[in-house]
Amino acid sequence: MIAVGADLEPGTLLEAYGRGLFPMFLDDQRLLGWWSPDPRGIIPLDNLRIPRSLKRSLRRYEIRVNTAFQEVIRGCSCPDRPHGWITDEFIDAYTRLHRLGWAYSVESWTAEGELAGGLYGVSLGGFFAGESMFHRRRDASKVALVALVEILGTVDGALLDVQWCTPHLASLGAIEIPRRAYLRRLREAINLPVPPGLEGCGRLPDRGTHAPGI
């Protein structure tokens, strides 16, 4: 943890992500903590592991981007999930970012038109900070992750941040790198073009390191 306090306004969040920080409430749910893990978890875009069962699941779902952002973030915030940290304040804050064109959902849909799972995160240039994922059908969140990796892979030098390298993410190819190396790659990635597949519901004229006015 690097700092405590501040707010979840769009400018604050974008400044923080551009500096390698992300927010989580502390245990009392009143104070914000700002985190920058060392080592940092990332998924190298050429290292995603797709087991045979997941390859079969890739054919089950249709991928969409930014068609159900609120449903995705609310799915990720389900109170039945252990260690849930996505409060209504977070939902409101990231929904604002989404409306401004900086937060994205990648969604897996069934042939019947049901949202089966997905993920959401924050995008700055060629950098994507994965925040959370959920599923209602088998492998649906993993299929969304595969799609995100394919999208980011269209930009050389893009960076997919997963914050901490959990056993689940490690099984999909996540690794840990020193924070110093992460911050160097972050600085490079946020100055890259936005991957073509991340067309949001809204776009700001300049999607560089910082939001306008910072």
Q: What is the pLDDT of residues 191-201, one digit of tens each?
A: 999 999 885 43
Express each pLDDT in 146-174 by its tens digit.
999 999 999 999 999 999 999 989 999 99
The average confidence (pLDDT) of the chain is: 89
Which residue in this structure is represented by tokens 């799972």? Answer: 117
Q: Which of these, 102, 147, 99, lies nearest to 122 by C-alpha position?
A: 102
Indicate the burial class of 28 (C-beta count within 10 angstroms; 0-12, 13-18, 19 or more): exposed
**Given a cut of 60, is residue 113 above it in pLDDT?**
yes
Q: Look at residue 74 and tell me if it is in a domain.
A: yes
Domain tally, the chain: 1
Average pLDDT for residues 122-143, to the nearest whole number? 96
Residue 202: per-residue pLDDT:
32
Q: How confident is the model at residue 79 (pLDDT cuts 50, 70, 90)?
A: low
Express each pLDDT in 6-48 by its tens digit.
999 999 999 999 999 999 988 766 789 999 999 999 999 999 9
CATH of residue 47 = 3.40.630.70
Q: Look at residue 210 and tell me if it is in a domain.
A: no
List the single range of 34-38, 49-53, 64-68 with lowest mean pLDDT: 49-53
Q: How confident is the model at residue 50 (pLDDT cuts 50, 70, 90)?
A: very high
Provide the domain limits for residue 77: 3-189
Among left, alpha and beta (phi > 0; psi -120 to 50; other), residue 65 is beta
**Given a cut of 50, is residue 205 above it in pLDDT?**
no
Residue 31: per-residue pLDDT:
87
Q: Look at residue 208 and tell me if it is in a domain.
A: no
Q: Look at residue 88 and tell me if it is in a domain.
A: yes
Which residue in this structure is represented by tokens 């893990």? Answer: 37
Q: Look at residue 211 and tell me if it is in a domain.
A: no
Write down the pTM of the prediction.
0.89
Which residue in this structure is represented by tokens 């978890």? Answer: 41
Q: Look at residue 197 and tell me if it is in a domain.
A: no
Q: Look at residue 200 and tell me if it is in a domain.
A: no
Residue 26: per-residue pLDDT:
84
Q: Look at residue 114 and tell me if it is in a domain.
A: yes
